[in-house]
Amino acid sequence: MARYPTELALHVAGEWRGAQGRRTLPVVDPATGDTLGQLAMATQDDIEDALRSARETFASWSHTSAWDRDAILQRTRQLVQERRNAIAEILTLENGKPLADSQGEIDRVLETLQFCGEEAKRAYGRLLPPRGKGLAQTTVKRAVGPVAAFVPWNFPLVLAARKVAAALAAGCTVVLKPAEETPASCIELVRAFIDAGLPPGVLNLLYGEPAQISRTLIDSPVIRKISFTGSVPVGKLLAAQAAKHLKPATLELGGHAPVIVFDDVDVDKVARMCAAFKFRNAGQVCLAPSRFFVHERIAADFRERFASAARAIRVGNGLDPATQMGPLNNRRRLEAAQRLVQQACDGGARIAAGGERIGSRGFFFAPTVLTDVPEGATLLREEPFCPVAPIMSFGDIDEVLARANGVDVGLAAYAFTNRLDRASEFSERIEAGWIGINSFTPLLADAPVAGMKDSGLGAEGGPEGLDAYLHTRFVSQSSLPT
């Protein structure tokens, strides 16, 4: 049986702060509904101490050489690798995803730590052609300041690593606020940074009342940069709060990714690929395909094969090696899945697979396939974030692109075709920042995620992600006249 930490503490100003004198929140195992542990909730004093710590350590950390910052990130990577089995079990217990998926998430963490550490040494400025004799004009990049980073529960480790590693590599100090549903995995990540030699106070970890923490951090003059991954409504709220103080914000928000399957593909192979990626992490993925548009010539065959693949998925406790899909993370997501299916069926949709909760213990919902979904269904307008896949047919590319682009978000989009002209037209006309042609790709350390429309602001990942934590300065220097 996997071990879950008995104490879930905050890390503030270089010290662990446990439940003593603080309210606690139960952390629930989504596979059983049982309580895993009690999470310490930050007081206002804890939040203020974290801000003070981030401010006081910024000067020394931002002036630490990029080579030394890289060394700490690489040592952190080594420690995460050494502890990966224990961390993966913790992540599966509190998130619900299969153990193999937790291991895969840790692979992305390792890649991110390595890339960001190396990229710290490549934060180059520019040398401009001089405008006169004895004149040197350059740009230099420097850390923007202390950062407030907010992380959701669906990929708590890798999303925290992307923010923290990039910010630390740039020379920023960080106050990290992950989700209360999945605290222990981020605690282990922070522990690895500390054990790797990160100076006390450079990285602070808070859990508690989300509105209280976000409001205090964003309103504080200490924080100079906001990074948030989560829902569109919360992202807009935080962006408005940051805008009042003219603070830059990187926002990776929700999506509703279309998949367009043309009639020149191997239907069986593409259907199985689509089903496998759709039901990854029980559909709780911002980049997940969530609207399937299939050419009318192959639509019936595709629906049958996709539904067959969905019914074959082994659903169970993520600690069971045979499990391919675990539970939804919390009761809210389970109830949302039930509402979406019921509302679509009330409008005339048909269930081709799944459509209901599995058992009465935990938050399991069957991989679900719906056909004949009415255009006005909530499922087609809002990100489902659950294992429910609507499949619709289309006739021509103009029609399907209009439907695919007909939502307020634009995070990811996918197309399957063997024709280069179709692939090129899709990549040019689709309104999304993460585009896959004949493939699905997980988060990559060296690739940016930058949503369009309501899917966010700025980019995370790649050199662009590190650049978000840097301020570019122009320096014009001349010798004094003689």
Which pLDDT does position 169 carry in this prediction?
Answer: 98
The CATH number that applies at residue 42 is 3.40.605.10
Rounded Cα distance between 322 and 258, Å, is 30
Residue 229 sits in the same domain as residue 314: no
Q: Residue 56: inside a domain, yes or no?
A: yes
pLDDT band at 443, cuts 50/70/90? confident
Alpha-carbon 100 to chain mean position: 18
Rounded Cα distance between 395 and 399, Å, is 7
Q: Residue 450: inside a domain, yes or no?
A: no
Burial of 402 (0-12, 13-18, 19+ CB in 10 A): exposed
39-52 average pLDDT score: 98
Whether the Cβ atoms of residue 139 and residue 126 lie closer than 8 Å to each other? yes
Which pLDDT does position 435 carry in this prediction?
Answer: 97
User: Does the structure show a pLDDT above 80 at 481?
Assistant: no
Closest CA to 106 of 159, 167, 181: 159
* Distant-in-sequence contacts of 438-445, Cβ < 8 A, 24+ apart: 439/414, 440/273, 440/277, 440/289, 440/414, 442/104, 442/108, 442/287, 443/108, 443/155, 443/158, 443/162, 443/287, 444/108, 444/111, 445/108, 445/111, 445/112, 445/114, 445/115, 445/116, 445/162
Residue 438 structural domain: 257-444
Whether the Cβ atoms of residue 52 and residue 13 lie closer than 8 Å to each other? yes
Which pLDDT does position 278 carry in this prediction?
Answer: 98
Closest CA to 400 of 361, 441, 430, 370: 430
**268-297 tens-digit pLDDT:** 999 999 999 999 999 999 999 999 999 999
| Number of CB atoms found within 10 A of residue 210's CB | 15
Whether the Cβ atoms of residue 51 and residue 214 lie closer than 8 Å to each other? no
Q: Residue 349: inside a domain, yes or no?
A: yes
Annotate 33-73 with three-state secondary structure.
CCEEEEEECCCHHHHHHHHHHHHHHHHHHHCCCHHHHHHHH
Closest CA to 364 of 279, 289, 257, 256: 279
Which pLDDT does position 6 carry in this prediction?
Answer: 82
Closest CA to 339 of 316, 360, 365, 361: 365
109: three-class secondary structure by DSSP: helix
Q: Residue 28: inside a domain, yes or no?
A: yes
User: Does the structure show a pLDDT above 60 at 1?
Assistant: no
Buried b (16+ CB within 10 A) or exposed e, 269-284: ebbbbbbebbbbbbbb
Closest CA to 459 of 472, 446, 471, 476: 446
Which two tokens mark 224? 């100079």
Whether the Cβ atoms of residue 322 and residue 316 lie closer than 8 Å to each other? yes
Residue 261 sits in the same domain as residue 398: yes
Residue 57 sits in the same domain as residue 115: yes
Residue 160 sits in the same domain as residue 279: no
Residue 216 sits in the same domain as residue 233: yes
Annotate 331-347 with three-state secondary structure.
HHHHHHHHHHHHHHHHC
Residue 369 sits in the same domain as residue 418: yes
Taken in order 119, 286, 225, 187, the sign of the CA dihedral is negative
Mark whether 172 is an active-site residue: no
Residue 100 sits in the same domain as residue 176: yes
Buried b (16+ CB within 10 A) or exposed e, 234-258: bbebbbebbeeeebbbbbbbbbbbb
22: which residues sit within 8 A by CB, 6+ positions away?
40, 41, 42, 43, 46
Query: What is the total count of domains within the chain?
Result: 2
Residue 75 sits in the same domain as residue 218: yes
Mark whether 345 is an active-site residue: no
Residue 162 sits in the same domain as residue 290: no
Rounded Cα distance between 448 and 72, Å, is 23
Burial of 57 (0-12, 13-18, 19+ CB in 10 A): buried
Which two tokens mark 451? 């949503």
Q: Residue 372: inside a domain, yes or no?
A: yes
Catalytic residue among 105, 119, 181, 252: 252
Q: Mean pLDDT, the chain, as a whole number?
A: 96
Closest CA to 116 of 68, 152, 170: 170
Q: Residue 61: inside a domain, yes or no?
A: yes
Residue 457 phi, psi dihedral angles, 5° rounding: -135, 140
462-482 average pLDDT score: 92
Residue 284 sits in the same domain as residue 320: yes
pTM for the structure as a whole: 0.96
232-241 average pLDDT score: 97
Q: Tell me what percent of the residues of the chain surpass a pLDDT of 70.
A: 99
The CATH number that applies at residue 359 is 3.40.309.10
Residue 415 sits in the same domain as residue 467: no
Residue 179 phi, psi dihedral angles, 5° rounding: -80, 145
Which pLDDT does position 2 carry in this prediction?
Answer: 58
Residue 229 phi, psi dihedral angles, 5° rounding: -120, 125
342-360 average pLDDT score: 97
**84-119 tens-digit pLDDT:** 999 999 999 999 999 999 999 999 999 999 999 999
Residue carrying structure tokens 């069971």 = 320
Q: Residue 2: inside a domain, yes or no?
A: no
Q: Residue 36: inside a domain, yes or no?
A: yes
Q: Tell me what percent of the residues of the chain surpass a pLDDT of 90.
A: 96
Rounded Cα distance between 346 and 311, Å, is 23
Whether the Cβ atoms of residue 201 and residue 13 lie closer than 8 Å to each other? yes
Point out which residues pair with 264 in neighbouring strands: none
Burial of 125 (0-12, 13-18, 19+ CB in 10 A): middle
Residue 420 sits in the same domain as residue 463: no
Which pLDDT does position 348 carry in this prediction?
Answer: 96
Catalytic residue among 188, 286, 386, 460: 286
User: Does the structure show a pLDDT above 50 at 445?
Assistant: yes
424: which residues sit within 8 A by CB, 6+ positions away?
none
Rounded Cα distance between 261 and 270, Å, is 8
User: Does the structure show a pLDDT above 50 at 349?
Assistant: yes
431-455 average pLDDT score: 95
17-31 average pLDDT score: 95
Rounded Cα distance between 307 and 298, Å, is 14
